[in-house]
């Protein structure tokens, strides 16, 4: 098996008020990806019963792995943003991925060691029913297929892998023409709890804001990408899986429930300060 190529991955959380500006900057300084400029991405994440990988992510450990099944196009939670064509960039019918007899999915292992990340994937065909809520609970594919793929990728889980949470988001892809750095702007990040016994079984729980992901050979960003990155807060440990899971586990009514842990977000306010993860934002910079 060939060794997967390493890349440096940096992430920046963009507050809702700056999402339009971030998109405008990327459209002005980069070119759209020629093959898949924008589409909806869906992932079913797996973890051990005691959420080993989630705990590693929260702890900021050097070595982290994510096991997931990914597919593209519309999904029943209706996560395509207003004005965007669901499914493929060509504007596939919103129900097309559920009507077809077979749907392509990818078994993936994303491994991160410090700032470097690699991704290994294997394509499979599954029935459309496998992507329905009951199918997600069962893990989409037989557990033996998932276990065999991970073993071939060189990953051996410390415990039995079970489906935990399904996450979908709208991704816009760009390429910085001078250096070839790849940039993604992910928005409308929504999640549905699949694992029984944790959370409240919420569907389509949406995280605010967006995430800029920059992937390239070094940490040194091209000048034009620094402008876009400056709109957000650096959050190299950001994980859609862990952030979504934390939102489902958070206390109802908490204003910090849906925000990435550790972020400070300033909002106009009168009288009572608003809080983001326990930090007052009234008058904050």
Mean pLDDT value across residues 223-244: 79
When mean pLDDT is compared across 11-20, 43-52, 139-148, 226-235, the lowest value belongs to 226-235
**CA atoms of 92 and 104, how far apart (whole Å):** 15
40-49, 128-137, 233-242, 255-264: segment of lowest average pLDDT:
255-264
Predicted pLDDT of residue 2:
59
Return the CATH architecture of domain 7-249: Beta Barrel (2.40)
* Range 24-40 average pLDDT: 95
Binned at pLDDT 50, 70 and 90, residue 227 comes out as confident
Kindly report, as residue ranges, where domains of CATH 2.40.320.10 are found in the chain.
Answer: 7-249
Among the residue ranges 31-40, 67-76, 85-94, 235-244, the one predicted with the least confidence is: 85-94
Residue-level pLDDT at 51: 94
DSSP state of 258: T
How high is the pLDDT of residue 105? 96
pLDDT-derived band at 224 (thresholds 50, 70, 90) equals confident
Neighbours of 233 (CB within 10 A): 18
The residues, ordered by sequence, that sit 6+ positions from 143 with a Cβ below 8 Å of its Cβ are 161
pLDDT at 71: 96
- Chain centroid to Cα 174, Å, comes to 17
As a whole number, the mean pLDDT across the chain is 81
How does pLDDT run across 134-179, given as a tens digit for each residue?
Answer: 899 999 999 999 999 999 999 999 999 999 999 999 999 999 999 9
Other Cβ atoms closer than 10 A to 84: 17
With beta carbons less than 8 A apart as the criterion, state whether 232 and 19 touch. no
- Report the C-alpha gap between 284 and 268 in whole angstroms: 10
Looking at residue 249, what is its pLDDT?
A: 87
Helix residue spans in the chain (DSSP H): 19-29, 52-59, 96-99, 133-138, 143-152, 223-229, 240-249
pLDDT of amino acid 214: 92
* pLDDT value of position 223: 86
């Amino acid at each position: 098996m060939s060794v997967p190529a390493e890349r440096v991955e940096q992430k920046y959380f963009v507050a809702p008020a700056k999402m339009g500006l971030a998109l405008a900057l990327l459209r002005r300084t980069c070119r759209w990806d020629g093959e898949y400029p924008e589409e909806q991405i869906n992932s079913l994440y797996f973890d051990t019963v005691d959420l080993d990988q989630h705990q590693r992510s929260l702890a900021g450990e050097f070595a982290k792995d994510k096991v997931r099944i990914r597919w593209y196009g519309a999904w029943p939670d209706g996560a395509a943003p207003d004005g965007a064509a669901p499914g493929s960039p060509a504007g596939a019918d919103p129900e097309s991925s559920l009507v077809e007899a077979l749907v392509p999915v990818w078994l993936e292992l994303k491994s991160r060691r410090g700032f470097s990340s690699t991704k290994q994937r294997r394509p499979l065909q599954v029935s459309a029913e496998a992507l329905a809520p009951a199918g997600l609970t069962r893990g989409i594919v037989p557990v033996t297929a998932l276990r065999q793929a991970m073993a071939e990728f060189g990953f051996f889980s410390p415990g039995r892998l079970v489906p935990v949470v399904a996450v979908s988001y709208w991704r816009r892809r760009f390429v910085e023409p001078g250096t070839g750095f790849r940039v993604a702007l992910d928005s409308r990040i929504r999640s549905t709890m699949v694992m029984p016994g944790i959370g409240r079984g919420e569907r389509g729980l949406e995280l605010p804001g967006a995430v800029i992901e920059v992937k390239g050979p070094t940490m040194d960003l091209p000048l034009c990408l620094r402008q876009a990155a400056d709109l957000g807060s650096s959050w190299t440990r950001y994980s859609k899986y862990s952030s979504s899971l934390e939102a489902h586990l958070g206390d109802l009514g908490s204003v910090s429930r849906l925000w990435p842990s550790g972020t400070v977000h300033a909002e106009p306010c009168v009288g009572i300060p608003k809080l983001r993860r326990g930090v007052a934002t009234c008058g904050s910079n």
